[in-house]
Amino acid sequence: MQIILVKLSKEISSIILINIDICKKLKPSIMFKQFFNCKKILFFLLLVVSFLVSAQKMVLLPTGLMDAENVEVRKNYIVLNIANKTSKQLYDESIKFINKNYKNPDEVIKGKTEGEYLKFVTYAPHFINVKNGLAKVPFNVEYTTELSFKDGRVKYEIIDLRIFNDSNYTLNITGGGISFFIFNKKGELKKEETKIDIENYFNKNISILSDFLKGENSENW
C-alpha cells in the first residue's frame, strides 16, 4: 500500500504540474480571471498529497488492530516517520512522553533497551461506552505499547489488549453467544459504533505521540 501511495502522490504531482502549465499558457485576460481558481486547485491538491503522506492510522479487524494502509497483509503495527531524529533521540523523547503523561512512569515501563526498544503499559478507565440494549455500559482498557526505534522511524505496535467493564465482563474483538463482542465468529461486524470509538481512541493517541516526537507539542508560556 505504501508503494501505491507513492504512485498516487506522483500522479497528483503530475496533475499539479499540468495545472501550472495550463495557467502559464492562458492569455493575460483569461489568466486574470482564472488566477484564483488555479490557486485553489493547486492548494487543494497539495493538501491531498500532504494528507496521504502523513496519515498513519490503525483499523480494528476481527484479528485485532492493524495498519489501515496494509489490512490485506494483516500488518499489526504502523511506522511513524519522524524526520531528522536519530534512534537515540526518538527513544529519549518517548521516555519524556511517558514521564509527562503517566502518573507512575517507572511502574508502567515494562522493558527498554536504550536507543532501540521501549515497552509500557496503559490503563484507561471508562475509555468507551458500549451499547447494551437501551443502555450504554462504560468499559476500561489495559494494553501494552511496544516502540522500536531506527533513525527517523518508530515502529508502533499494540499488544495484550484487554477491554473490560467494572463488573469484569470482557469485551471481545471476536466472539459469540451472550458475551460482549464487536465481530461475530464469522467476522461480521456487530458493533460498528464501538469499533469506531476504539479506532478513534488509538489513532488520537498515535497522533499525540507522533506530534510529541516531532516537537509539535510546545506550549506557550
Give me the CATH number covering residue 204.
Answer: 3.30.530.80
At 139, list the grid cell: 468499559
Number of domains the chain contains: 2
Q: What is the rounded average pLDDT for all residues in the chain? A: 83
Q: Is residue 174 part of a domain?
A: yes
pLDDT at 55: 54
Q: How confident is the model at residue 71 (pLDDT cuts 50, 70, 90)?
A: confident
**Residue 48 and residue 140 in one domain:** no
pLDDT at 87: 98
Tell me the one-letter amino acid at 151: D
**Residue 89 and residue 35 in one domain:** no
**Residue 10 and residue 66 in one domain:** no
Q: Is residue 102 part of a domain?
A: yes
pLDDT at 37: 60
Distance CA 145, CA 36 (A): 47
pLDDT at 219: 63
- CA 171 to mean position of chain CA atoms: 22
Nearest to 105 by CA among 94, 91, 114: 94
Q: How confident is the model at residue 52 (pLDDT cuts 50, 70, 90)?
A: very low
pLDDT at 204: 97
**Residue 32 and residue 75 in one domain:** no
**Residue 114 and residue 146 in one domain:** yes
pLDDT at 48: 43
**Residue 140 and residue 75 in one domain:** yes
Distance CA 172, CA 182 (A): 7
Residue 28 has pLDDT above 80, yes or no: no
Q: Is residue 120 part of a domain?
A: yes
Q: Is residue 219 part of a domain?
A: no
pLDDT at 209: 97
Radius of gyration of the chain (CA): 22
Residue 14 has pLDDT above 70, yes or no: no
pLDDT at 60: 97
Parent domain of 76: 59-214
Beta bridge partners of 55: none
pLDDT at 74: 77
Task: Please write the tens of the pLDDT for every residue from 127-144.
Answer: 999 998 889 999 999 999
Q: Which are the contacts of 160, defined by CB distance < 8 A and separation ≥ 6?
A: 142, 143, 144
**Residue 46 and residue 83 in one domain:** no
Q: Which are the contacts of 117, defined by CB distance < 8 A and separation ≥ 6?
A: 111, 146, 147, 148, 149
Q: Is residue 220 part of a domain?
A: no
As a whole number, mean pLDDT of residues 60-84 equals: 91
**Residue 98 and residue 6 in one domain:** no
Beta bridge partners of 60: 65
Residue 34 has pLDDT above 60, yes or no: no
Instruction: Say if CB 185 and CB 194 are below 8 A apart.
Output: no
For the chain, give the percent of residues with pLDDT over 70: 73
With b for 16 or more beta-carbon neighbours within 10 A and e for fewer, the 87-110 pattern comes to bebbbebbbebbeeebeeeeebbe
Last residue of a domain, one of 54, 70, 93: 54
**Residue 13 and residue 97 in one domain:** no
pLDDT at 1: 34
More confident residue, 220 or 123: 123
Task: Please write the tens of the pLDDT for every residue from 182-206.
Answer: 999 999 999 999 999 999 999 999 9
